[in-house]
């Protein structure tokens, strides 16, 4: 499962750095879990990593739909099969605040 934070008052999903809900300004937040697998919606291959980034390029940054309307950004692990549109992916953990995925079926 992938843990995220949401607003207790209006259920808006909050970014990791949010201290206040951007929709209702509430400071009450709670943790909730998302499914750990989904479909690959989009990706891009990074061939030159930013200075200081701890991952050796090339690597793939992905957008995954875990449930209808719930999307997360992450990275494919190095041993993943290559990404294809609509591929089934599974979360295998996170590293430095980045969700890590692997392609499980094409």
Residues within the interface to Zn ion (CB under 5 A): 7, 9-10, 12, 21, 23-24, 26
If the CB atoms of residues 22 and 82 are measured against Zn ion, the closer one turns out to be 22
Residue pair 100/55 in contact by the 8 Å Cβ criterion: no
- Work out how close the CB of 9 gets to Zn ion at its nearest, in angstroms, rounded to a whole number: 5
- Work out how close the CB of 22 gets to Zn ion at its nearest, in angstroms, rounded to a whole number: 8
If the CB atoms of residues 18 and 98 are measured against Zn ion, the closer one turns out to be 18
Count CA atoms within 13 Å of residue 75 on its CB side: 19
- Work out how close the CB of 13 gets to Zn ion at its nearest, in angstroms, rounded to a whole number: 10
| Percentages of the chain per state (helix, strand, coil), in multiples of 5 | 0, 55, 45
Residue pair 23/38 in contact by the 8 Å Cβ criterion: no
- Work out how close the CB of 14 gets to Zn ion at its nearest, in angstroms, rounded to a whole number: 8
Residue pair 13/21 in contact by the 8 Å Cβ criterion: no
If the CB atoms of residues 8 and 85 are measured against Zn ion, the closer one turns out to be 8
If the CB atoms of residues 7 and 40 are measured against Zn ion, the closer one turns out to be 7
């Amino acid at each position: 499962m992938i843990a995220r934070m949401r607003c207790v008052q209006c259920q808006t999903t909050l970014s990791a750095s949010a201290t206040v809900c951007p929709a209702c300004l509430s400071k009450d937040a709670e943790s909730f879990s998302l499914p750990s697998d989904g479909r690959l919606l989009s990706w891009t291959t990074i061939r030159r990593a930013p200075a200081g980034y701890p991952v050796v390029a090339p690597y793939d940054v992905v957008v995954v739909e875990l449930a209808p309307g719930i999307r997360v950004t992450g990275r494919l692990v190095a041993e993943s099969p290559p990404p294809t549109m609509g591929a089934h992916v599974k979360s295998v953990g996170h590293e430095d605040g980045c969700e890590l995925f692997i392609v499980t079926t094409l």
